[in-house]
Amino acid sequence: MPPQEKWKTRSIDADWSVERDQARGRGALSNASGRFEKQYAEAIDDGWETDEKPETLKTETIVERAKTIITYNTSPDISFDRTINPYKGCEHGCIYCFARPNHAYRGLSPGLDFETKIFVKPSAASLLEKELAKKSYKPGRIMLAGDTDIYQPLEKELHITRSILEVLARHDHPVALITKSALVTRDLDLLAPMAAKGLVSVAISFTTLDRKLARTMEPRCAAPHRRVETMRELSAAGIPVTAMTAPIIPALNEPEIESLLEAAADAGAKRAGYVLLRLPLEIAGLFTEWLEANYPDRAKRVMSLLRSMHKGEDYRSEWKMRQRGDGPYADLIAKRFANATRRLGLNQVNVSLRTDLFRPPPAKDASGQMNLFGEGGS
């Protein structure tokens, strides 16, 4: 088998036992080379007995010297056209994370490397100020995140997300956030005043009420009850809250659709959405490996149902289909979700953020001094 193809077919066996010992407290069970590498490599147990145990993997931060901070997109699948991602890679370690394959572009593994080698952008706030000051800039809702979590554990120390919010608040710029961390409540002093002006909304990723499943599937995330409390705190502060029950994994967290939405509505969420489990590129092998190791009794059924929604494939990348699938089981999930949101009064109001309050930063000259006459003035 060509090295570049092997990542598609990983399955549970003794080959990854070395990495498994290192990976305690992480999501992925292995760290195989990405698809762009000419040689495929993975740790194996060679059978030689030893008293030495592999060291537990520690998180490493890598500073990224970005030139811009706002990323634009034209995807018909999503409702926003610009994002800011202060981190690439994520300590939360969610096994299903759709951003995992991006680490392959950096010569790293979408497996354990994705959770332990985190790229950070400490200059994000200053870059944002410069981009907002451009004469050509037109305000629009910025999605803060969209790739990896903006409130992952490193944010407690680095405060990059908070520095971005301070810039947006200072200039009355609309922003939407998505996270599965309770750390978002740290920034209520910024978010609540912005919400009062119609400038912010927050989505909480809410996948299960089962603490054991959450701990296994999302090992370094806030526990389910903390996410409910977070929704309640945000809502009480006047911030519009959306519960993102994503991803929906058939026969794993899919039976919880109604109970998840009930808990979210009770906590004050006004809107809810869902996305079917997506398994592009390396995620397919990583997820099936994890599934067979942790839920061997359900593994075949989970994958069979998922494939039934993707015409026999693990995943299809076509617009719309990639997030919802099709076929009888996909239709059943969509109907259950629609019926539950209707019954609970969710999705009855639209949350539109204001752009008319935006006040651009004053332009600066090459030395960093404010330009008295504005951009291009003389």
The enclosing domain of 115 has a CATH number of 3.20.20.70
For residue range 23-45, list pLDDT tens digits in order: 678 999 999 888 877 665 555 55
Decide if pLDDT at 6 tops 50.
no
In a domain, 367, yes or no: no
In a domain, 369, yes or no: no
**98: containing domain:** 3-47+58-344
In a domain, 353, yes or no: no
For residue range 167-192, list pLDDT tens digits in order: 999 999 999 999 999 999 999 999 99
Say how many residues make up the chain. Answer: 378
In a domain, 250, yes or no: yes
In a domain, 275, yes or no: yes
In a domain, 52, yes or no: no
In a domain, 306, yes or no: yes
In a domain, 172, yes or no: yes
For residue range 81-135, list pLDDT tens digits in order: 999 999 999 999 999 999 999 999 999 999 999 999 999 999 999 999 999 999 9
For residue range 250-280, list pLDDT tens digits in order: 999 999 999 999 999 999 999 999 999 999 9
At residue 47, the pLDDT reads 54
At residue 279, the pLDDT reads 97
For residue range 299-353, list pLDDT tens digits in order: 999 999 999 999 999 999 888 788 999 999 999 999 999 999 999 999 999 999 9
Domain count, the chain: 1
Q: What is the pTM of this model?
A: 0.88
